[in-house]
Structure 1
Amino acid sequence: MMIRFEKVSFILLLVLVVWLPIPLASNRVWAWSLAEILVSVQTLCLALSYFSKERDLPFSRLKRFSWLLIPLVMFQIWNGVQIVPFELATLAKISPFSAEVYQLAGAVRGAISLDVHASTTSWVKGITYSLFAFNAVVLIHTPNRLKAVALAIVLSGTLQAFYGAMTVLLGLKTSLIFNFKESGIATGSFVYKNHLANYLMMSLAIGSGLIIAQLHISPSGSWNERLRRWSDGVVSRKMFVRLALVIMVIALVMTRSRMGNAAFFAATTLGGLVALMFFKDKPRAFVPLIVSLILVDTLVVGTVFGLDKVKDRLEQTSVLKETRDEVVEWSLPIIEQYPLTGTGIGSFYSIFPSYTQFNIGYYDHAHNDYIQFAVEAGIPATILLGFMWLWAVVLTIRAMKHRNSKTLRGLALGCFIALIGMLMHISVDFNLQAPANAMTFVLILVMAGCTQSIKITRR
């Protein structure tokens, strides 16, 4: 019975992977509330599975993920501290400018956060992300489960890509479900094209890792063996994943996202170079696969489905027309005033208007997640999150270099590409502010750790 609860919890993990992008990237109150409920149910099922005396919580596995879980928990603790009301005299010692704002408002007490309601909402989201990471760490303990999660990500990305591309190709004026206006650009169910592009980038990276994990290491030896492998490959899971990648590349190009496309192809190129240096027992078809992803998909698929329009957008980008640079520039004084404490997680849209120098329209996010986290959480907390990313990159390189399992090596490369792509993309957009993207990225961090920590049992 207890084992059954654990299996239900893992199934919920797979369901969440596919579900999260569907309701507008879970970026509406009702949608992220539903995600929070699902994660709570998943956590409850997992807890029930360990009530039996025969099952002990896998502390050794949790210890191997301390690099991820401890920073996540510490970040949530800090977010909780940001909404605690203090006497103004005490607050002045912690965050002088926050105390000054509350004093000007005539308040007797005040919090570090300048928007307690928004910070509370974001704090609950953060707790959900942390529970999701904890559950994934406990649940993904075999190569087969790791592969199942990777396939779920690829399936979800393919569904989003197909829906987004077909909406454009059919010339629909409004979306099929939520009746949002369509403008000839692929958005899937994300509404914002760059969020879809970012999600596809992560899905493509994991899909690439899956294909590499299935490539043969040994030489074919003879034409008979070569033909047999080719025929097996046509009807294998590898071919279906390859077709899924083609569909996702088509949709990625059709998002017209400049950095989304640039981040994927740059990260794939860098991933290929790193793999050539560190990959243990490189598959014979490794280089052709990377070349096909970068060149064939770009030139053939891109030419047919509009890579030239992405190029035109890059060429037409004007410093005079782009206002996101001003957002970053005007956010720097906020960081200077609140370097250690931040203004409160989720408070950017409330605090930023008072720092604008002229009208550039409404910005509820910084369009640069590094800047936004530094503004809202402070520099130390932002560095803490950066440590998780850095350690995950190190673990993927170690896995590529030392693991004997093809599955673990291949998915380590896929996670590496996703990590590098995200590093690039969030420098010009707010992808980590969409719950679907944020939770998928947290899951990829867990997967990166799994490629190094999962033990292979020999039969």
Structure 2
Amino acid sequence: MARRKSRKANFGADFRENWQLYTLCGLILATFLMGGASRGDVVSLIFLRPLATICLGLGLYGLTLQQARAYRLPLGVMGAIIGLILIHLIPLPPFIWTNLPGREIAVEAGELAGLGDVWRPIAMVPFRGWNAFYSMLVPAAVMVLSIQVPPEKHRVVLYTILVGALLAVLLGIAQAGSGFNPSFYLYRVSSQGSPNGLFANRNHFAALLCIAIPALALIASRAREPRKTLVVALCSGGVLLALLMIFATGSRTGLALSVLGLLLGWIVWQARPDQIKRRKVGPTWIVPAVAGVFSLLVVGCLAVIFGRAQALDRFTEGSVAEEGRLRAWEITAGSLSDYLPVGSGIGSFVEIFKIHEPSDMLSFAYWNHAHNDWLEWLLEGGIPMAILILFVLWAFIRGAAYLWQQRHTGSYGVQLGLFGASAILILGLWSFVDYPLRVPSLASLAAIAAVWMVTPRVLGASSKRVS
């Protein structure tokens, strides 16, 4: 009885000291389990968004002025995104919004409906704009909490992310093993006939797997004796599993960016401390033995996947949607000038695309996104969004250059920052052909990655080593 009370007391004290860490890890797992879809009508968002709002409130309550100043760059970008969305939702008097470019159809519709002089926001589809605002609460909560987690505890956060990735892989294998039974998919609207894991879209599953590659390289590079050999072997097997699962999804972008993931993983691996580089890995037979056994298990599991999924066919045969992407990009790019300088409004793409969509592209399906988020952001946000994008690109290049200069310091913070830069780079490149950052789990991962990128500069990583 006394031991139980002592354990409870110790846990209570530990929780009070590290409540931000526990809250963050719990929220991350919740985003993986409930935030794997980009649609705004997913039922699980009814639970995830209120949970994120509570976590955001707790995070803001615990955030100190010193922390806010130290991490003003990622917080400023997050605040600018949310602020721009809110500006687009402010009702404007008729003499303002009716004179905004591209609003002629809204004015004409209002006259035909006899609505008279009504106040309207910049966003031409306000309810989708509000959905965009609510969606930002999840990564905002993750960012605010991650800033307050002590740097030496960020290891736990990284492990939590990999636990989410592992759950996604296991569910993906189960989906294939069941013959892609709908009961194994978490979302009603999903990429049927392929392993999606915890996601609604196979491409977003592949994006997570590409990001997992440099994460595994980071863990392997910091392994210590006596388990160093085993950890390196398991991480190598994990990379192999990620590559095979990417291939199984049939994601062309995933296959291309997996090569980049391997390159970025090598960069993270090379940034390990010199003493670890000189340390012996252990008996030479252990690594190939463990990797071989692991590979056999992986191949056995994925034999089921390749037997049931048309993964190979997807690399040679394009769907109607894939063939129409170039045209969708052309239409989106061609309509940008019609809504400058303020844009068509955050969240308005679906309706705006229908206005400009040619008759030969009409079908029973519709374009929910441009499948090029950079174009979609410019269409909806106009010149202010373009300025914000340029600032973010400048901040990323500046931060990545600093991390590259510090890569020989052997700092764990620098390695973690390099992984963060890798994750953001993969998601940024992926956004040229898809919309991964609209998925709560991937958006949250990007928020954490942004914090990890600036942490070495905040802590002075060049003079402080964390092993």
Is this a same-fold pair by TM over 0.5?
yes
Match for residue 26 of structure 2 among 15, 25, 31: 15
* CA deviation after TM superposition for structure 1 residue 20, in Å: 1.2
- Would you say how many aligned residue pairs link Structure 1 and Structure 2? 424
Q: What SS does structure 2 have at the residue aligned with 1:30? A: coil
* CA deviation after TM superposition for structure 1 residue 431, in Å: 1.1
Amino acid at match of 2:413: L
Q: Distance in 1 between matches of 2:204 and 2:390?
A: 21
**Preserved contact between residue 92 and residue 100 of structure 1 (Cα < 8 Å):** no
* CA deviation after TM superposition for structure 1 residue 369, in Å: 0.9
Q: Does 1:375 align with 2:388?
A: no
Q: Distance in 1 between matches of 2:278 and 2:410?
A: 17
Q: Distance in 1 between matches of 2:354 and 2:205?
A: 27
* CA deviation after TM superposition for structure 1 residue 211, in Å: 2.1
**Preserved contact between residue 194 and residue 260 of structure 1 (Cα < 8 Å):** yes
Distance of aligned partners of 1:393 and 1:38 in 2 relative to their CA distance in 1, 3 Å threshold:
farther
Match for residue 207 of structure 1 among 198, 202, 216: 216
Distance of aligned partners of 1:182 and 1:271 in 2 relative to their CA distance in 1, 3 Å threshold:
closer
Match for residue 35 of structure 1 among 42, 48, 63: 48
- Counterparts of 1:143-292 in structure 2, within 5 Å, are 143=152, 145-176=153-184, 178=186, 183-214=192-223, 232-236=227-231, 238-269=232-263, 272=266, 281=274, 284=277
**Preserved contact between residue 83 and residue 112 of structure 1 (Cα < 8 Å):** yes
- Matched with 2:337 is 336
* CA deviation after TM superposition for structure 1 residue 191, in Å: 2.2
Q: Does 1:365 align with 2:369?
A: yes
* CA deviation after TM superposition for structure 1 residue 311, in Å: 6.3
- Counterparts of 1:104-123 in structure 2, within 5 Å, are 104-106=109-111, 107=115, 108=117, 109-123=119-133
Aligned residues with identical type, % of pairs: 17
Distance of aligned partners of 1:68 and 1:99 in 2 relative to their CA distance in 1, 3 Å threshold:
farther
- Matched with 1:420 is 425
* CA deviation after TM superposition for structure 1 residue 116, in Å: 0.7
* CA deviation after TM superposition for structure 1 residue 415, in Å: 2.0
Q: Distance in 2 between matches of 1:257 and 1:202?
A: 14
* CA deviation after TM superposition for structure 1 residue 150, in Å: 0.8
- Matched with 2:71 is 65
Q: Distance in 2 between matches of 1:431 and 1:391?
A: 20
Distance of aligned partners of 1:148 and 1:386 in 2 relative to their CA distance in 1, 3 Å threshold:
farther
Q: Note the aligned Cα RMSD (angstroms).
A: 3.7
Amino acid at match of 2:258: F
Amino acid at match of 1:111: P
Q: What SS does structure 2 have at the residue aligned with 1:112? A: coil
* CA deviation after TM superposition for structure 1 residue 378, in Å: 1.9
Q: Distance in 1 between matches of 2:108 and 2:52?
A: 39
Amino acid at match of 2:246: L
* CA deviation after TM superposition for structure 1 residue 200, in Å: 2.0
Q: Distance in 1 between matches of 2:372 and 2:142?
A: 24
Distance of aligned partners of 1:235 and 1:40 in 2 relative to their CA distance in 1, 3 Å threshold:
same
Structure 1 portions without partners, runs of 5+ = 51-56, 216-228
Q: What SS does structure 2 have at the residue aligned with 1:214? A: coil
1:169-197 per-residue CA deviation (whole Å, 9 max, x = no partner) reads 34242233648587441111312111111
Which has the larger displacement, 155-164 or 395-404? 395-404
Which has the larger displacement, 68-77 or 3-12? 3-12
**Preserved contact between residue 25 and residue 436 of structure 1 (Cα < 8 Å):** yes
Distance of aligned partners of 1:47 and 1:97 in 2 relative to their CA distance in 1, 3 Å threshold:
closer
Q: Distance in 2 between matches of 1:387 and 1:421?
A: 18
